């Protein structure tokens, strides 16, 4: 593609590209006369051959199939693992890039300059830090059953895992027990093209502090030797979910407890937590404690505050703040998580916390009417962030402080811009590395209402 002959690439084209930067989400970026190609598997300084997937008017997506000249920044890979694409960068460089990307998102997307970004908190463990792994079943070229992860960009190809270096040895052992049982029983893998077959996923969770484990097998509707499965898999809680959904998801379906405890027990900052299989729990236990520590520090509670814990999951943040507040009120959409949160308050003898099941998009106004306006709102939404409407609802609730825990700076940024426009000041942001070897970025942001209070600029009728 020289300037004279430049044509937009098409799917399947193979291009020679030099990567000049890293995009949000982790892909390398290469540019040709204003046309951008996002290259999975490329880092700045690499010269690669890359195969084009999606090709649009302004950009294309491609995958590096050969590194022609490696970047001087490349370090040797530690693990053959599709879930650890940034392991080719030194850990120090990963931390730098994550910090830069938080600042870049706030500046470029949020148009927020001169925001104080506090130093990123490095991870305690750079490998084997995940307390939850979701594996997929598939079939290899010999027709053998395998269990592992999707090959990058391949919805129908599963890379078998023998030692997942993001998981503990114990968690790996459980996956092998499940796989061996399924092989002996000659159970078939779900075929993602034909929509046939039994075995879909296995989710393995581990209490890093308690040593407890929970295994959930996800299959198509059918039968198998449940008693044999219970004997074969050495987990503290064993679940079976049957689903007839055509898409691959570990959510939904009909779940039943096969043996052991229904919830996993874990400890965070001296509190006990029960976790149902459907409920969210931060996947890096050690770093969750640090993340919540920063949220507590930013909250600056004095003991008299009413705290809203929005998107509260099993109540972890609110319950960690309860001793410093007058009252904590949590809101969460997944009902079993709310039941866990209530039970978690009870087992920790926390009496100043209430939890409600509801969609933050609809229930926030009602929550304010019932409980009164919050002094502090803690917000910890999924990666998609908050809609403009929810931000308006939060502004209407007028908390003096907002502690926003974000797992995606590119969605934090527009939410932050809207809060600033409404009269909040973005005081500071601190990134926390919950996910070493991956491009995922977590951070905590503190907003404070200005002296003139806050108001929605475009108030809805």
Active-site positions read 407
Q: Does 313 bind ligand SAM (CB under 6 A)?
A: yes
208: left (phi over 0), alpha (psi -120 to 50) or beta: alpha
Q: Does 360 bind ligand SAM (CB under 6 A)?
A: yes
**Three-state secondary-structure class, residue 390:** helix
Q: Dihedrals φ, ψ of 321, to 5°?
A: -95, -15
Sign of CA dihedral 290, 295, 297, 302: negative
Helix (H) or strand (E) holding 290, with range, is helix 285-299
Q: Does 334 bind ligand SAM (CB under 6 A)?
A: yes
- Which among 241, 277, 282, 275 is positioned nearest to 382, based on CA atoms? 282
**Least spacing, CB of residue 329 vs ligand SAM, in Å:** 13
**Least spacing, CB of residue 282 vs ligand SAM, in Å:** 5
Residue in 229, 281, 298, 447 binding ligand SAM, rule: CB under 6 A: 281
| Contact of 331 with 367, CB cutoff 8 Å | yes
Q: Does 380 bind ligand SAM (CB under 6 A)?
A: yes
Which distant-in-sequence residues (6+ apart) come within 8 Å of 28 by Cβ? 19, 21, 22, 38, 39, 40, 41, 42, 43, 44, 46, 48, 64
| Contact of 76 with 67, CB cutoff 8 Å | no
**Least spacing, CB of residue 314 vs ligand SAM, in Å:** 6
**Least spacing, CB of residue 434 vs ligand SAM, in Å:** 11
Per the DSSP assignment, residues forming a β-bridge with 432 are: 121, 442
- For ligand SAM, the nearest residue by Cβ is 313
Q: Does 282 bind ligand SAM (CB under 6 A)?
A: yes
Q: Any known ligand binding at 311?
A: yes
Q: Any known ligand binding at 375?
A: no
Residue in 204, 235, 312, 449 binding ligand SAM, rule: CB under 6 A: 312
109: left (phi over 0), alpha (psi -120 to 50) or beta: alpha
Q: Does 359 bind ligand SAM (CB under 6 A)?
A: yes
Give the number of other CB atoms < 10 A from CB of residue 315: 29
Residue in 236, 289, 332, 343 binding ligand SAM, rule: CB under 6 A: 332
**Least spacing, CB of residue 14 vs ligand SAM, in Å:** 39
- 40: Cα separation from own chain's centroid: 19
How big is the site for ligand SAM, counted in residues (CB under 6 A)? 20
Closer to ligand SAM at the Cβ: 301 or 331? 331
Q: Any known ligand binding at 359?
A: no
Residue in 135, 137, 311, 447 binding ligand SAM, rule: CB under 6 A: 311
Characterize the bridge pairing of strands 47-55 and 424-432.
Answer: unpaired
Residue in 226, 257, 333, 427 binding ligand SAM, rule: CB under 6 A: 333
Q: By CB under 6 A, what part of segment 389-418 binds ligand SAM?
A: 407
Give contact residues for ligand SAM (rule: CB under 6 A): 280-282, 311-313, 316-317, 331-334, 337, 359-361, 380-382, 407
Annotated binding site for S-adenosyl-L-methionine: 282, 311, 332, 380
């Amino acid at each position: 593609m020289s300037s004279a002959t430049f044509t937009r690439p098409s799917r399947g084209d193979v291009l020679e590209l030099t990567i000049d930067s890293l995009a949000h989400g982790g892909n390398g970026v290469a540019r040709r006369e204003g046309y951008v190609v996002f290259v999975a598997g490329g880092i700045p300084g690499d010269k690669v051959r890359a195969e084009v997937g999606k090709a649009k008017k302004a950009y294309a997506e491609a995958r590096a199939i050969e590194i022609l000249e490696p970047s001087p920044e490349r370090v040797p890979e530690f693990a053959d693992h599709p879930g650890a694409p940034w392991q080719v960068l030194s850990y120090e460089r990963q931390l730098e890039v994550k910090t830069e990307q938080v600042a870049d998102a706030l500046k470029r997307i949020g148009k927020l300059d001169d925001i104080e970004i506090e130093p990123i908190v490095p991870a305690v463990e750079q490998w084997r830090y995940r307390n939850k792994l979701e594996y997929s079943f598939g079939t290899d070229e010999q027709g053998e059953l395998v269990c592992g992860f999707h090959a990058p960009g391949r919805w129908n190809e599963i890379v078998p895992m023998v030692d997942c270096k993001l998981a503990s040895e114990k968690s790996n052992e459980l996956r092998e027990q499940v796989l061996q049982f399924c092989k002996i029983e000659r159970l078939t893998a779900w075929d993602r093209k034909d929509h046939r077959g039994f075995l879909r996923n296995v989710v393995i969770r581990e209490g890093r502090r308690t040593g407890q484990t929970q295994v959930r097998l996800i299959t198509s509707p059918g039968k198998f030797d449940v008693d044999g499965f219970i004997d074969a898999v050495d987990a503290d809680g064993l679940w079976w979910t049957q689903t007839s959904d055509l898409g691959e998801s570990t959510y939904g379906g009909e779940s039943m407890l096969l043996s052991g405890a229904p919830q996993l027990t874990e400890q965070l900052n001296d509190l006990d937590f029960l976790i149902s299989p459907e409920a969210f729990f931060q996947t890096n236990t050690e770093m969750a404690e640090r993340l919540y520590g920063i949220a507590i520090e930013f909250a600056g509670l004095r003991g008299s505050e009413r705290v809203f814990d929005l998107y509260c999951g099993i109540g972890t943040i609110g319950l960690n703040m309860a001793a410093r507040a007058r009252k904590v009120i949590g809101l969460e959409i997944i009902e079993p998580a709310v039941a866990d949160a209530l039970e978690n308050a009870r087992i920790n003898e926390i009496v100043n916390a209430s939890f409600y099941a509801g969609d933050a998009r609809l229930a926030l106004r009602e929550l304010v009417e019932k409980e009164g306006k919050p002094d502090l709102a803690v917000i910890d939404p999924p990666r998609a962030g908050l809609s403009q409407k929810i931000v308006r609802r939060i502004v209407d609730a007028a908390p003096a402080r907002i502690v926003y825990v974000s797992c995606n700076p590119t969605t934090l940024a527009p939410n932050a811009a809207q809060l600033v426009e409404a009269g909040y000041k973005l005081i500071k942001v601190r990134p926390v590395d919950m996910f070493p070897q991956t491009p995922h970025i977590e951070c905590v942001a503190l907003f404070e209402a200005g002296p003139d209070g806050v108001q929605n600029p475009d108030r809805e009728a």
